[in-house]
Structure 1
Amino acid sequence: MSDQRKAYVYALLAVGCWGTVAAAFKLSLRHVGSDALVLYSAAAALTFLFCVAMFTNTLSEVRRWRTGDYARSALLGALNPFLYYVVLFKAYDLLPAQEAQPLNFTWPVVLVVLSAILFRQPIRPVSYLALGVSFLGVVMIATHGNPFSFRLSDPLGVTLALASTIVWALYWLYSSNDRREPVNRLLMNFAFGFVLVLGYCVSADRLEPVGWRGLAGSVYIGLVEMGLAFVFWLKALRLSRTTAEVGNLIYLTPFLSLVVISLVVGEEILPATWAGLVLIVAGIIVQNRFGGTPRPVKRK
């Protein structure tokens, strides 16, 4: 099998992982609180990433890091897993999975806006079209297909789902040009993030006992969403001739996710959800093809 075909296989495995996790979020939240779910999932992911780093003999690089590298991981860990998943899981707790998942997928559009605000990167005219199309999709989903009613299904849940996209976009901007070994980088991000999650859960009295269903869901999320999907995607990018050849497969994720949500969680997917998701993805594709890619933050 050629390297490019292997890249497609790994990319599809990553998409398969991501396509199941929205359902896993919703099912797990039936058995454990959202903050505790972040804690237990992060612990599972941290264990998995440590095992991967040990197996690939890359941990020695960490000892050569400078103080700034550790500080960078502390900052990134505060964004992901700490803030990102605390906000995202609360959104899933309040919203149907079919709403939270597509709204969370709008982060590439948010990335364009943040790049313009924070780093004065110009927005091309076509990007305004992309933003408008995706925003219409958000409104369709959040209002259940009644955009002129101005009634959100759950204002706080929608706000949190969209806030999670801001956190993830910030994480992308500050991590995308990080030249450290990727597994080590994510491992240390999660190490710092786990400490923050633990401190938050203890101080806010969010620690709680968890039954086997909640524990199984936490482990699944930690291994699949936070760990395996990343490893598969990284492998796909390394084997592929170009990023674009596997990158386009990512658009399958939200549609696969809705199918899994319907089959596993039992939610009846509304026509407005499908229509809104098509608009969101269309806006993202227009932005990626014609609007240019925002530049990551340069290290000083």
Structure 2
Amino acid sequence: MKQQESHDAHAVLYLSALTVILWSTAFVFTRIAIRSISPFPLGLLRYGAAALVLVGIGFAKHIGLPSRRDIPLFLLLGALGFFFYQLFFNIAMTTISAATASVVVATVPVLTAFFASLLFHERLGKVGWIAVIIEFGGILVLTLWHREVSLGWGLFWMLAAAICFAVYNLIQRFSKSRYSSLQATIYSITASALMFLIFLPQAVTEVQGAPLSAVLAVVFMGVFPSAIGFLLWNKALSLARQIGDVTNFMFVTPLLSTLLGVLLIQELPDSPTILGGVLILFGFALFNNRSKLHRPANKKNPMQS
């Protein structure tokens, strides 16, 4: 039993790490695509491409269709995790800065851990919450040092997007008892792609005039950060002992995105990037070793008699 738990823990570590690496590339390719394709059609093209890939995998694996009684569950997952998240995110980005958006999105692990403690009685412990605070502090340093916080209605839209994704992570746990992570990913992303079809006429028009680089960027985002990324993410959620063991990896995404941007423009990282990165990595290491640092209160000291 302990050997299986150790195997699952290592699998969660690798799956979550690969996911955040893929997700970090999405920020760069979004910047490329958004120059020629507006935000809402971009959502259709991205998740439409992801759905095509996943449906192809589904046919190859003969996964079949979900039960009729579970269709509302996957419609809800598709709406929260992809459709409404993307809509709220895109609306927010029209009125707030990218730095402010990064901070609000970084609240997803905090919100998920809070809701999981209320609904599933999951406990991070004192060390876990200290690690989360350190990581969030690193996000603040990384994104807001020498930058201004932008306030406005966009802040509330971005918070709504963060809440949508936090709730998606929680509801995803309900599907694992009857469906594999592969099935859950295919059904929910396909559901979101169908919702995005309302932007099809606009998407067709904009793709016709878009350069090849923008189209390739969309295809990349659909295949790697979306299809493969969420396959890995949902598999990690299905194996994790606690949801926070997976969502905590989201703190690393802004750091990876920043470093990737630094590499692409060939500039040395500035002091906020270095300091924020150190805080994030320290908090991340602390979080993943919290069980070793936590001593149960009911465990007696062997020197006492």
Deviations 1:39-61 (A, max 9, x none): 11011011010011111222x2x
Which of 15, 37, 42 does residue 42 from structure 2 map onto? 37
In 2, are the aligned partners of 1:73 and 1:185 still within 8 Å (CA)? yes
Q: Give the match for residue 194 of structure 1.
A: 193
The separation in 2 between residues aligned to 1:119 and 1:231, in whole angstroms, is: 23
TM-score (norm 2): 0.69
| Structure 1 residue ranges without an equivalent (≥5) | 292-300
Letter in 1 for 2:76: L
AA matched with 2:181: P
Does structure 1 retain, via aligned residues, the 8 Å contact 2:136–2:251? no
Closer, same or farther in 2 for the Cα pair 1:236/1:20, shift >3 Å?
A: same
**1:101, distance to aligned residue in structure 2 (A):** 5.1
Question: Is residue 76 from structure 1 mapped to residue 73 from structure 2 by the alignment?
Answer: no
Distance 1:230 1:156 in 2: 29
The normalised TM-score by structure 1 is 0.70
Corresponding residue number in structure 1 for 2:112: 111
- CA shift, 1:84, in A, is 1.6
Which structure has the greater CA radius of gyration? 2
Structure 1 residues 57, 119: CA separation in 2 closer, same or farther (over 3 Å shift)? Answer: closer
Alpha-carbon distance, 1:187 to partner:
1.7
**Counterpart for residue 227 of structure 2:** 227
| Structure 2 equivalent of residue 215 of structure 1 | 215
Match status 1:152 vs 2:149: yes
- The answer to whether the Cα contact below 8 Å between 2:145 and 2:272 also exists between their aligned partners in 1 is yes
Distance 1:176 1:109 in 2: 17
Q: Does 1:276 align with 2:276?
A: yes
Question: For the residues of structure 2 that align with 1:155 and 1:263, how far apart are their CA atoms?
Answer: 32
Conserved in 2, the CA contact under 8 Å of 1:142 and 1:152? no
Range with bigger deviation, 257-266 or 210-219: 257-266
Match of 1:26 in 2: 31
Superposition RMSD in Å: 4.4
Change (3 A) 1:264 1:237: same
2:20–2:252: 8 Å Cα contact kept in structure 1? yes
Instruction: Judge conservation of contact 1:98–1:258 (CA < 8 Å) in 2.
Output: no
Deviation at 1:80, TM superposition (A): 1.9
Over residues 159-187 of structure 1, what are the superposed CA-to-partner deviations in whole Å (9 max), with x where a residue is unaligned? 55554332211100111231212222222
| Offset from partner CA, 1:210-248 (integer Å, 9 cap, x none) | 21333222111111111122345667899x99999x969
Letter in 1 for 2:144: T
Aligned to 2:184: 185
Count of residues in correspondence between the two structures: 275
Alpha-carbon distance in structure 2 between the residues aligned to 1:94 and 1:26: 17
Q: Distance in 1 between matches of 2:149 and 2:139?
A: 11
Segment of structure 1 superposing worse, 133-142 or 79-88: 133-142
The gaps in structure 2 that reach 5 residues or longer are 1-6, 292-305
Tell me if 1:17 matches 2:22.
yes
- Pairing 1:66–2:54 present: no
Contact 1:109 1:134 in 2 (8 A): no
Q: Secondary structure at the match of 1:72?
A: helix
Residue type matched to 1:66 in 2? R
Contact 2:96 2:152 in 1 (8 A): no
Output the CA distance in 2 between the equivalents of 1:123 and 1:16: 24
Question: 1:168 aligned to 2:168?
Answer: no
Q: Which amino acid aligns with 1:272?
A: P
2-side partners of 1:223 and 1:81: how far apart?
15
- The answer for the alignment partner of 1:50 in structure 2 is 55
Q: Quick check: 2:96–2:154 contact (8 Å CA) kept in 1?
A: yes
CA contact (8 A) 1:99 1:273 kept: no
Q: Is the 8 A contact 2:50 2:222 kept in 1?
A: yes
Report the equivalent of 1:260. Answer: 260
